[in-house]
């Protein structure tokens, strides 16, 4: 029988959201959690429940025999020189014919903490929907995702933003130009990744077919440059979904939504 995870107050989840997005310090986060340590719910228990549990949230295993996944390095001469990412294709697309079947591509852009296991899992899910998927790591120039979201967020602030943007542009064009791609690509991302999806739609114009930004920053006055189909998931929509997940007492689902 699996241990029952404690029900965490919604306010505590919102506090974690502020912390992980760099809006409050670690000290402020720890002090804030103290307020919810009532009724036998210890501070350590609350923090453990709030921290990402990637194994629990995983939907497609890294060893799933329906996918073929590799780490690829893409040249980025206008950016940080190169960017490494997680590349996934469905095995079925490479076994039905003598040559690999051409598939449309999706670029998955992480949040403000690098290519963590959750983003890799999303790439695998999309591959099973019959796409070829590339999830670049914007922290490549600093050694890549450090294995910890908090440390990843600290590293993220040290990367040149303009060069990182060029890294994602290079990643998208690499995906689009692959011989096993149809030449039709889309992008999706979360928070920072949502804003980057919008940026890709602006910068790539007709070279990108669609973008699905999750509560990312809007492209300001550049909207007329967008030729792609856009499905923008607003912060309000995500919070509504999070509220539904909270009724189940599942902080893991809420963190994934926020």
Of the candidates 192, 149, 152, 136, which has an alpha carbon nearest to the alpha carbon of residue 51? 149
Q: Compare 238 and 75 and report the one with higher pLDDT.
A: 75
- pLDDT single digits (tens) 24-43: 888 888 888 888 776 667 77
Which two structure tokens, joined as six digits, stand for 250?
Answer: 């599942």
Distance CA 62, CA 119 (A): 12
- The answer to whether residues 83 and 140 touch, using CB atoms and an 8 Å cutoff, is yes
pTM of the model: 0.83
- Contacts for 236 with CB less than 8 Å, ≥ 6 apart: none
Determine the average pLDDT of the residues in 188-203: 94
- Residue 233's pLDDT is 78
Distance CA 69, CA 66 (A): 10
- pLDDT single digits (tens) 147-191: 988 899 999 999 999 999 999 999 999 999 999 999 999 999 998
- pLDDT single digits (tens) 214-258: 887 777 678 889 999 998 876 665 555 555 544 444 443 433 433
Distance CA 109, CA 251 (A): 23
- The answer to whether residues 146 and 170 touch, using CB atoms and an 8 Å cutoff, is no
Of the candidates 162, 207, 163, which has an alpha carbon nearest to the alpha carbon of residue 187? 207
- pLDDT single digits (tens) 107-125: 999 999 999 999 999 999 9
- Residue 251's pLDDT is 42
Lowest mean pLDDT among 61-75, 186-200, 225-239: 225-239
Determine the average pLDDT of the residues in 7-31: 81
* Burial group, residue 55, by CB count within 10 angstroms (0-12, 13-18, 19+): exposed
Residue indicated by tokens 């076994």: 95
Determine the average pLDDT of the residues in 56-76: 95
Residue indicated by tokens 């996934």: 88
Determine the average pLDDT of the residues in 121-133: 97
- Residue 235's pLDDT is 63
Of the candidates 160, 174, 168, which has an alpha carbon nearest to the alpha carbon of residue 110? 168
- Residue 249's pLDDT is 45
Q: What percent of the chain has pLDDT over 70?
A: 84
Which two structure tokens, joined as six digits, stand for 228?
Answer: 């792609």
Strands, DSSP E only, in the chain?
67-76, 81-90, 103-109, 132-136, 181-190, 210-214, 229-230
pLDDT over 80 at 3, yes or no:
no
- Residue 159's pLDDT is 97
DSSP helix/strand/coil, 49: helix
Domains and CATH numbers, the chain: 10-57+239-257 (no CATH), 67-234 (3.40.50.1820)
Alpha carbon 115 to chain centroid distance?
7
Sign of dihedral through CA atoms 117, 118, 121, 122? negative
Distance CA 119, CA 114 (A): 9
Distance CA 214, CA 14 (A): 17
Q: What angle do CA 134, 18, 86 make, to 5 degrees?
A: 10
On average, the pLDDT of the chain sits at 85
């Amino acid at each position: 029988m699996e241990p029952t995870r404690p029900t965490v107050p919604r306010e505590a989840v919102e506090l974690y959201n502020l912390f992980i997005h760099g809006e409050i310090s670690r000290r402020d986060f720890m002090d804030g959690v103290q307020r919810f340590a009532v009724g036998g719910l210890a501070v350590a228990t609350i923090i453990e429940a709030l921290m990402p549990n990637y194994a629990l949230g995983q939907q497609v295993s890294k060893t799933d025999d329906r996918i073929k996944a590799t780490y690829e390095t893409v040249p980025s001469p206008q950016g940080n020189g190169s960017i490494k990412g997680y590349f996934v294709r469905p095995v079925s697309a490479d076994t039905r014919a003598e040559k690999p079947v051409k598939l449309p591509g999706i670029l998955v852009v992480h949040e403000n903490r690098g290519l963590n296991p959750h983003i890799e899992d999303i790439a695998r899910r999309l591959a099973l929907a019959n796409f070829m998927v590339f999830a670049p790591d914007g922290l490549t120039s600093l050694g890549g995702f450090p294995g910890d979201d908090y440390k990843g967020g600290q590293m993220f602030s040290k990367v040149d933003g303009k060069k990182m943007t060029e890294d994602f542009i290079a990643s998208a064009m690499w995906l689009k130009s692959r011989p096993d791609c149809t030449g039709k690509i889309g992008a999706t991302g979360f928070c920072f990744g949502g804003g980057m999806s919008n940026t890709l739609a602006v910068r790539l114009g007709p070279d990108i077919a669609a973008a699905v930004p999750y509560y990312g920053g809007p492209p300001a006055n550049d909207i007329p440059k967008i030729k792609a189909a856009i499905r923008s998931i607003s912060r309000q929509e995500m919070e509504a979904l999070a509220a539904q997940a909270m009724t189940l007492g599942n902080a893991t689902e809420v963190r994934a939504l926020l």
